[in-house]
């Protein structure tokens, strides 16, 4: 079973371990559950509490002891329905206040020149901005394309991202790390030009630039990125890109 699918729907690593252990054990006490799931006893109660709130786990009390069990797997669909409902409600709230936020930013006359991005969600959000900010036949450029530590769900995200990018007609020129040559998701090559950086230029750092934006980030265990909104930085990275492009291999 591909446990990454449970990560993708919003379960943490600990929640996934505990839920799957309950599926295999049936009704059980926390001691046996902790051992099976390989989760410390100090954490298992907190994880169980979260799974109960998500409607995936239940319990009964015998004497003074609680016995936990996974509810029917189809409850996962109900959990997703509820999550989707909550997201729709939040989107409606944001839609109402968005014009006010945009007006306030416009009146200020100021734009962020530098922004720090922390975490995988923030990095993914930058990529989604590419889809909304670029149009058909627009280009963006990447130096040092890599999947880093290859976190669960990240390759699936890139497959979906590049599929949408290609459908929209957005073009990309990528300089990919040589050691990731055989790891690219298939959609990467749609409507794109790809070359591979030689071994001595391989790095965990990725640089993306287009229009007046340059984004530098590291796909380490705790990803962090730095966005610059500046024409000069784009010109500098363009010069680097063109130099590397000439020595990169197809």
Could you read off the pLDDT of 219-243 as tens digits, one per residue?
A: 777 788 889 888 888 999 999 899 9
Same domain, 28 and 128: no
For residue range 144-167, what is the model confidence (pLDDT) as tens digits? 887 766 667 778 888 999 999 999
Instruction: Tell me how many domains the chain contains.
Output: 2
Same domain, 242 and 126: yes
Place of tokens 């295999």: 24
Tell me how far apart the alpha carbons of residues 184 and 209 are, in angstroms, rounded to a whole number. 20
Dihedral angle, C-alpha 199, 203, 208, 209, nearest 10 °: -80
* Sign (positive or negative) of CA dihedral 71, 74, 75, 80: positive
Angle between helices 13-25 and 41-53 (to 10 degrees): 90
Does 240 fall in a domain? yes
Quick check: 123 pLDDT over 60? yes
**Residue range of the domain that includes 21:** 4-75
**What was the pLDDT predicted at 131?**
94
Same domain, 224 and 135: yes
Does 84 fall in a domain? no
Same domain, 168 and 237: yes
**What was the pLDDT predicted at 109?**
60
Average pLDDT in the 38-45 region?
89
Same domain, 229 and 168: yes
Average pLDDT in the 164-193 region?
90
Does 51 fall in a domain? yes
Q: pLDDT: is 80 or 103 the higher one? A: 80
| Burial state string for 96-134 with b = 16 or more CB within 10 A and e = fewer than 16 | eeeeeeeeeeeeeeeeeeeeebeebebbbebbeebeeeb
Q: pLDDT: is 131 or 100 the higher one? A: 131
Average pLDDT, the chain: 85
Which residues, including other chains, have CB under 8 Å from residue 177's CB and lie 6 or more apart?
Answer: 144, 145, 146, 196, 197, 202, 203
Does 95 fall in a domain? no
Which range among 63-67, 71-75, 168-172 has the greatest average pLDDT? 168-172
Does 92 fall in a domain? no
Confidence of residue 111 (pLDDT cuts 50, 70, 90): low
CATH of the domain at 130: 3.30.870.10
Confidence of residue 84 (pLDDT cuts 50, 70, 90): confident
Does 87 fall in a domain? no
**What was the pLDDT predicted at 168?**
95
Does 85 fall in a domain? no
CATH of the domain at 36: 1.10.10.10
Confidence of residue 170 (pLDDT cuts 50, 70, 90): very high
Nearest to 197 by CA among 218, 180, 213: 180
Confidence of residue 175 (pLDDT cuts 50, 70, 90): very high
Does 133 fall in a domain? yes
Tell me how far apart the alpha carbons of residues 161 and 163 are, in angstroms, rounded to a whole number. 5
């Amino acid at each position: 079973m591909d446990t990454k699918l449970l990560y993708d729907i919003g379960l943490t690593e600990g929640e996934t371990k505990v839920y799957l252990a309950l599926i295999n054990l049936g009704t059980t006490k926390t001691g046996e559950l902790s051992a099976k799931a390989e989760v410390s006893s100090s954490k298992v109660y907190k994880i169980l509490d979260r799974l109960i709130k998500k409607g995936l786990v239940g319990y009964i009390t015998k004497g003074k002891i609680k016995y936990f069990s996974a509810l029917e797997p189809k409850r996962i669909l109900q959990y997703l329905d509820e999550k989707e409902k909550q997201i729709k409600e939040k989107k409606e709230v944001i839609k109402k206040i968005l014009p006010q936020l945009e007006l306030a930013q416009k009146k200020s006359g100021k734009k962020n020149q530098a922004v720090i991005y922390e975490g995988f969600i923030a990095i993914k959000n930058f990529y989604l901005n590419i889809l909304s900010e670029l149009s058909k036949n627009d280009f963006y450029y990447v130096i040092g394309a890599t999947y880093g530590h290859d976190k669960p769900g990240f390759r699936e995200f890139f497959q979906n991202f590049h599929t949408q990018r290609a459908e929209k007609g957005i073009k990309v020129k990528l300089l990919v790390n040589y050691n990731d040559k055989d790891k690219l998701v298939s959609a990467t090559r749609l409507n794109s030009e790809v070359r591979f950086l030689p071994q001595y230029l391989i790095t965990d750092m990725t640089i993306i630039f287009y229009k007046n934006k340059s984004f530098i980030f590291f796909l380490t265990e705790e990803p962090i990125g730095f966005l610059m909104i500046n024409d000069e930085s784009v010109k500098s990275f363009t010069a680097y890109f063109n130099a590397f492009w000439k020595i990169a291999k197809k």
